[in-house]
Chain A
Amino acid sequence: MIDILSFVIFFFIVCSFYIISSLGLNIQYGFTGMFNVGIAGFFAVGAYTSAILTGPDYADTIFGGFGFPIIVGWVCAIIVSGIAGLLVGLITLKLREDFLAISTFGIAISIQLVALNVESVTRGPNGLYALPKPFAHILGSPFVSNVCYLIICIVVIAMIYYALERAVKSPWGRVLRSIREDEVAAEALGKNVFMYRLQAFILGCGIMGLAGAMYANFVRFISPQDFLPIFTIQVYVMLIVGGKGNNLGAIVGAIAIWTLWSASDSLINLIVAPDFQTQAAALRIIMVGVVLVLMLVFKPSGILPEKKHVSD
């Protein structure tokens, strides 16, 4: 019984990182219509920021070992990912949307290369280990600390959800939707489209950074292998299946796709011979891709479509 319960708790903790990323993407893609292909990159920036600030002193790094409290790591993760978003946004948000897609894709690859090669800070492929986890040494038992972690996750999700709901229902959120629907009209009504886009982009990137930081302090070990493009696709599938432009949809989609992903993982381990694990893993990724494409073709509005706003 306790086994099943700890599995469920573990499942939902990991799912939380996807939920938070999906909410962050929703503000960029769902509400403002910006295509960020670098989710894994901004997630990685957050994870490394928190890992370097809160992690122990490693013998082979020249920068790090600050041992700051975890909350400091998380806040800085939001700030640093936000700054990364600001830099990308400043260069690309005035150009056609394709450039944002290409640039964020490039940023994610560059971030991974930096994580892999700047060994004096990130320890390269060996990764950063023994990261602190909240409540871990006070409570001792991993079960209790996981329960606490899940509570933290739920509180963070609730806070982000509440804040985003307030934001998108405010005049600010209406401008974002108007930019998505008709940029020229928004511009003609005197809105500084570039500034609104930049704000939404930075906000989304900061939220993704927070998700990364929470991931780092939960699994307590990060390496460049954790931040592959499949993560970006997964978050898109979650948001599109759930319903872009709907924060509840972002959460529902994340839970649905994470369940599907985990179930298929267990199924593959159970029925596929070890020799064919590479093929089975490929099949699983194909499944995610096919779900994405089918949703785009047949039901682009998702399970929980965006509510129609006639006038607020």
Chain B
Amino acid sequence: MIQYVVDGLVNGSIIALGAVGLSITYNVLRFANFAQGEILAIGAYMSMALIVLMGVGIGSIGPVSFGWPLLVSIAFSIVLTSVTVLAVDWMLFRVLRRRSASRITFIIAAFGLSLIIRNVITLVAGGDQMFLSFYIPKAIPVFGDFKVVPDDVVVLIITAICVVALHSFLTSTTVGKKMRAVAENPVLAMVNGINVKSVIRWSWVIGASLSAIAGTLHAHVTQLDPEMGFELILPMFAALIVGGVTNVYGAVLGGFLIGLTEAFAVSMDLSAYRGAIAFSIMIVVLILRPQGIMGEKERDD
């Protein structure tokens, strides 16, 4: 049972980090980014490419198969994924913003974009599964019968660091405060001299960085394939809605809740319905509490 809880937390970490990206786009750029899953996939494939280029495997530190090559590749993946996402924004979403296209147009564009990215990955890397390493999770006893896989603990620690970093970014840096101001009220923010364009760029970079980390972690604990983003998008949306769309910490909470429920479903032998389970929770929340657990009622804008 404990193993299911740990699995749920690990999977939940990845969903949570991805959902934060979703939440930022939703609140700053104001649309549901259907291409968010593919940003995770880009992050994972960038790390994969760097691991292959460096050719020294992912390394290890003590019992943890999480050596410096993996950390270096995550760092590079953050940069490359952010650059890719900024380029896509410049080519597509910036043009739509300038035309003040409707929100629906943004969603459709994102949906089309997800399809393009998925197939570009297939084109470049092939449609087969890939693995970052030959890492085999091996649980070691911590006390008594309680065993954990060391890498699972590392995933949780990295996630915790990311959430704390995000929190301090949003609360103590000027850019973070501006971002919150734009999310709260874009017109008022603009009137107060906040450069919305730069806030938008920062939003993409923060979202892409967390996605690159989440995607690489996902690739490390499972595998890479072009469909990985597509499989993650529904759990991430569910996390966003369950936690509350207006609250970025809600996305984190939602991510863990969805991860744990999915793990619970797997333990009940319902793994075939995994995707539908995240969706069912989301529907229940939409009926009972549309603003989500931590969300506030949205102004209609």
Contact = CB atoms under 8 A, between A and B. Distances in A.
A102 B119 contact: no
Interface centre among A91, A106, A285, A297 (most CB of B within 10 A): A106
A233 B107 CA distance: 12
Given A109-B275, A279-B122, A293-B113, 19 more contacts: A33-B102, A37-B111, A98-B103, A99-B286, A101-B104, A101-B111, A105-B233, A106-B282, A109-B279, A113-B276, A233-B112, A236-B111, A240-B108, A282-B119, A285-B119, A290-B116, A293-B109, A297-B109, A300-B105
A297 B96 contact: yes
14 contacts: A37-B111, A97-B107, A98-B32, A98-B107, A99-B286, A102-B32, A103-B282, A105-B34, A109-B276, A113-B276, A233-B111, A288-B115, A289-B113, A296-B109
Given A33-B104, A102-B32, A282-B127, A95 B115 contact: no
Contacts of B142: none
A162 B122 CA distance: 43
Given A99-B286, A109-B276, A286-B119, A296 B101 contact: yes
B120 A98 contact: no
B90 to A, nearest CB: 12
Contacts of B191: none
Contacts of B135: none
B286 A95 contact: yes
B237 A106 contact: yes
Contacts of A236: 108, 111-112
A225 interface: no
Contacts of B279: 106-107, 109-110
A297 B92 contact: yes
What does DSSP make chain B's interface, helix, strand, loop or mixed? helix
Given A97-B107, A289-B113, A278 B126 contact: yes
Given A233-B115, A279-B122, A300 B237 contact: no
Contacts, number: 128
Contact of B108 (A279, A286, A292): A292
Interface in A107-164: 107, 109-110, 113-114, 116-117
A260 interface: no
Nearest to B33: A98
Contacts of A233: 111-112, 115
A272 interface: no
Q: Which 4 A-B pairs have the closest CB atoms?
A: A106-B279, A289-B116, A98-B32, A282-B119
The residue in A184, A240, A285, A290 that gathers the most chain B C-beta atoms within 10 A of its C-beta is A285
Interface in B233-277: 233-234, 237-238, 241, 272-273, 275-276
A297 to B, nearest CB: 5
A182 to B, nearest CB: 12
A92 interface: yes
B115 A296 contact: no
A116 B271 CA distance: 13
B107 A293 contact: no
Contacts of B107: 35, 97-98, 101
A219 interface: no
Contacts of B111: 37, 101, 233, 236
A65 interface: no
B286 A103 contact: yes
A96 interface: yes
